[in-house]
Structure 1
Amino acid sequence: MKLLALQGFLLIIAVEMVAVLVHQQHIMLWAAGVAVAVPLAGLRRLLTTGDAGSADGVPIIDEPGAALRQWLSGTEARIRWSESTRADWDRRWRPTLAGRFEVSSGQGRVKDPAAFAATGVMLFGDALWPWVDPGNVAPAGEDGPGPGRAVLEEILRRLEQR
């Protein structure tokens, strides 16, 4: 739309300059009217057709299920991270789960680390808390297996019940 406005402005200036250079002042009003009408007609067409297309003029089609399919594929990828390595879990799931736990429990990890850990053990138990605990990140060289989908489901279920 900005390009259309710029082109219209430049067209008006060009038409006025041509009318002055050819010493035909009696056509300046008509030329200015045409120069203004052309961009306005283009703007009207743009607004009425809703042509929110790409730069090459082909309209972008947004299918109703495209957003849902994109969300589903992203979710499936995140679930696969839980079945991957410990490093993937530490990089992708642990910060998300620890942040959600911190918000839902109201226990600030920085304010009182002991209360944060105690609340985590109470909610998740001794088996699941190490997978949520933000302080339990594996050393850089360790690349063991991740906890898997069942552990992720149980952690999410317990967070949801909170």
Structure 2
Amino acid sequence: MKRLIALGICLIVGIEVLALILQDRRYVLVASGLALALVLLNVRRVLGHRNEPAAEPDHDDLGDGLRRWLSKTETTIRWSESSRADWDRHLRPMLARRFEIASGQRRAKDPAAFSTTGEMLFGAELWEWVNPNNVTRAGGHQPGPGRAALEEILQRLEQV
């Protein structure tokens, strides 16, 4: 809105300067009036659309969002039930980020407080699966903790 008014003022001033440069002062008032009318019509158009209710999302858009969420959830569950390498690659970073956000503890700021808070919240057994510093390179074929551990971790994160 501010940009529209600023551009309108620049348009009016520009037209007046152009008319004065051309030495034909008969059209200064007419040209400025037309520029002002153009600016006012645009301001009215912009203000008129603010009062209209927002268009409701298309039912297909809602269905697409639900399908994406369902697909992402199914993929997350599959990762939890597969190998430790998948857990370390996909779930551990997500869970560590959610833990940082939920607890307010930043790993980069104070690693000791981050680990202590994690152990207090999850317990030693579950913290092993959330701790971002517990990634192993060699244990890729070991089984992950499974869906029950993921569910328990998410429940504890919700309680924070």
* CA distance, structure 1, for counterparts of residue 45 and residue 112 of structure 2: 57
Q: Residue type matched to 1:135 in 2? A: N
Q: Residue type matched to 1:77 in 2? A: K
* CA distance, structure 1, for counterparts of residue 64 and residue 9 of structure 2: 41
So what's the TM-score if we normalise by structure 1? 0.59
Q: Are 1:83 and 2:78 counterparts?
A: yes
Report the CA distance shift for 1:90/1:117 in structure 2 as closer, same or farther (over 3 A). closer
The answer for the alignment partner of 1:13 in structure 2 is: 14
The answer for the alignment partner of 1:38 in structure 2 is: 38
Q: Residue type matched to 2:68 in 1? A: S
Report the CA distance shift for 1:15/1:129 in structure 2 as closer, same or farther (over 3 A). same
- 1:93-132 equivalent positions in 2, closer than 5 A: 93=95, 95-99=96-100, 102-103=103-104, 109-111=111-113, 113=115, 115-116=116-117, 118-120=119-121, 123-124=122-123, 126=125, 128-132=126-130
CA contact (8 A) 1:12 1:35 kept: no
CA contact (8 A) 1:82 1:147 kept: no
The answer for the alignment partner of 1:24 in structure 2 is: 24
* CA distance, structure 1, for counterparts of residue 139 and residue 9 of structure 2: 62
Report the CA distance shift for 1:67/1:148 in structure 2 as closer, same or farther (over 3 A). farther
Q: CA RMSD in A?
A: 4.3
The answer for the alignment partner of 1:56 in structure 2 is: none
* CA distance, structure 2, for counterparts of residue 41 and residue 47 of structure 1: 10
* CA distance, structure 2, for counterparts of residue 49 and residue 27 of structure 1: 33
So what's the TM-score if we normalise by structure 2? 0.60
What's the CA shift for 1:90?
2.6
Report the CA distance shift for 1:161/1:6 in structure 2 as closer, same or farther (over 3 A). closer
Identify the match of residue 63 of structure 1 among 43, 57, 61.
Answer: 57
Contiguous gaps of at least 5 residues in structure 1: 52-59
Percent same amino acid among aligned pairs? 27
The answer for the alignment partner of 1:133 in structure 2 is: 131
Identify the match of residue 156 of structure 1 among 135, 154, 157.
Answer: 154
* Alignment length (residue pairs): 146
What's the CA shift for 1:50?
3.4
